[in-house]
Chains A and B, each alone.
Chain A
Amino acid sequence: SSVLTQPPSVSVAPGQTARITCGGHNFRDRSVHWYQQRPGQAPLLVIYDDMDRPSGIPERFSGSSSWNTATLTISRAEAGDEADYFCQVWDTGSDLVRFGGGTKLTVL
């Protein structure tokens, strides 16, 4: 089975760049999606298909993927970016949707 591994927490200073990783095997044939979840709110799609941004998501949010790691990059971090971030894939082998355990981003 596919397990998506995320660091529990990442800290970044305002204005700096935060990188959140999602580890799993064989990302070459699956798309990775990222969600932001602020406290008390529903998740929000911020990156889909490895690197595409939905309408309304700032360009400061970007994504990349190699064969075994996907990365969400948040440039020029702001206080409003503080949230939990989850990666997600469709494991075609098991036909299951899988989420990473989530990363809490703190903007110090």
Chain B
Amino acid sequence: EVHLVESGGGLVQPGGSLRLSCAASGFRFDDYAMHWVRQPPGKGLEWVSGLSWQSDDIGYGDSVKGRFIISRDNAKNSLYLQMNNVKPEDTAIYYCAKNYGDTTRGPFDSWGQGVLVTVSS
């Protein structure tokens, strides 16, 4: 069974940095692209970033491009999101999601339970 567990969320001040982690188990991590998707409280879903299994195909949503960095460590079955220069509008639940099949931009067939990031002074 696929299991994705996010960590690293919390309260951060505007302009600050935070690093999210996602621990994966139950599947061959280095066979699949992985993604971060976020959801502001009470609102819809927004794709943040995704990368291929080899990390050679990386994409970012327009609202985080230049501020966030996605990475992975296949040896540790882990996905990361380095969030820099955060803004109040980055406040959201951040989900780690596994890509389905051999594509690199969805669909997302497994999701973690999410971690809350709050950007506030």
Contact = CB atoms under 8 A, between A and B. Distances in A.
B14 interface: no
B56 interface: no
A48 B45 CA distance: 17
Contact of B95 (A42, A54, A96, A97): A42
A95 B106 CA distance: 12
Please tell me the size bucket of the interface on B: 20 to 34
A23 interface: no
B2 to A, nearest CB: 12
A99 B47 contact: yes
Contact of B107 (A37, A48, A102): A48
B84 to A, nearest CB: 20
A45 B107 contact: yes
Contacts, number: 59
A98 B47 contact: yes
A44 interface: yes
A94 to B, nearest CB: 8
B24 to A, nearest CB: 14
Interface of B: 35, 37, 44-47, 50, 59, 61-62, 95, 100, 103, 105-109, 111-114
19 contacts: A31-B107, A35-B108, A42-B113, A43-B37, A43-B45, A45-B108, A54-B109, A86-B45, A88-B106, A88-B107, A90-B105, A90-B106, A95-B105, A97-B50, A97-B59, A97-B61, A98-B47, A99-B47, A101-B44
Given A49-B107, A97-B35, 14 more contacts: A33-B107, A37-B45, A43-B37, A45-B108, A54-B109, A88-B107, A90-B103, A90-B106, A96-B59, A97-B59, A98-B47, A99-B45, A99-B47, A101-B44
